[in-house]
Structure 1
Amino acid sequence: MQEVNNTQFFKVQKEPEIEVKDIIASVYVALTEKGYNPVNQIVGYVMSGDPTYITSHKGARSLIMKVERDEIIEELLEDYIGRNLRK
C-alpha cells in the first residue's frame, strides 16, 4: 500500500503544436470529402463561431476548435496579402 503523504509525480505529454495552415488544410480536405463547399463552411464557422459548420469527419471539428477564429482570419489574410499585394 502506498503512503498517502508522499507526493506523486507524473509527466504529461504535450500535444505537438499544429500550425494554423495545417489545420485549415486538414479541415478543407475533410469538408471536400464529405461533399461540402469548404469555403462557405469555413466562413460560416469563422463568422458565427458555430462548430457545426465543420464536419466531424476525420476529426475536423475538434481540430479547428484548437485555434482561435482570429488566428484563422490572420493566417488567411497573411496568405492573401503575400500572394496578391506584396510585389
Structure 2
Amino acid sequence: MTNDETRVVETQIIKDSNTKRSLIKICEDLQERGYNPTKQIVAYLVSGDPGYISSYKECRNRMLEFKREDILELMLESYIS
C-alpha cells in the first residue's frame, strides 16, 4: 500500500476504544481518591444524575462527554463477548 491510497477506518471501533480508555482512567482517578468507582458509575448510569460521580480530577465532566446509553452498550458487549 502506498501512502496516497485511501484507508477505511471503522469509526465505531475508535469511539469504543476512546470510551473504554476514558472510563478506565476515570475509575483509576476515583480509586486514587478512595472512592468506589463501580458504585458511583452504576448510580449515575441508572439514575442519570451526574452528582453521583465525584468532581475529583474532572471525573464528572469527563463522564458527561459520553451518552449513558453508549456506555451501557459498550459494557454489555464487553460482558457478553
TM-score range, shorter chain: 0.7 to 0.9
Counterpart mapping for 1:50-61 below 5 A: 50-61=49-60
- Verify: 1:29 aligned to 2:28, yes or no: yes
TM-score, normalisation: structure 2: 0.73
Any gaps of 5 or more consecutive residues in structure 1? 1-16, 83-87
**Structure in which a larger fraction of residues adopt helix:** 2
**Once superposed, which parts of structure 1, at least 4 consecutive aligned residues long, lie more than 4 Å away?**
none
- Verify: 1:39 aligned to 2:15, yes or no: no
Deviation at 1:27, TM superposition (A): 1.3
Partners of 1:26 and 1:34 in 2: how far apart? Answer: 13
Counterpart AA for 2:24: A
Counterpart mapping for 1:62-77 below 5 A: 62-77=61-76
SS, match of residue 67 in structure 1: coil
- Sequence identity, in percent? 41
CA contact (8 A) 1:31 1:55 kept: yes
Counterpart AA for 2:61: S
- Bigger CA radius of gyration: 1
Counterpart AA for 2:41: I
Deviation at 1:38, TM superposition (A): 1.1
Any gaps of 5 or more consecutive residues in structure 2? 1-14
Partners of 1:68 and 1:81 in 2: how far apart? Answer: 20
SS, match of residue 19 in structure 1: helix
TM-score, normalisation: structure 1: 0.69
Name the Cα RMSD after superposition.
Answer: 1.5
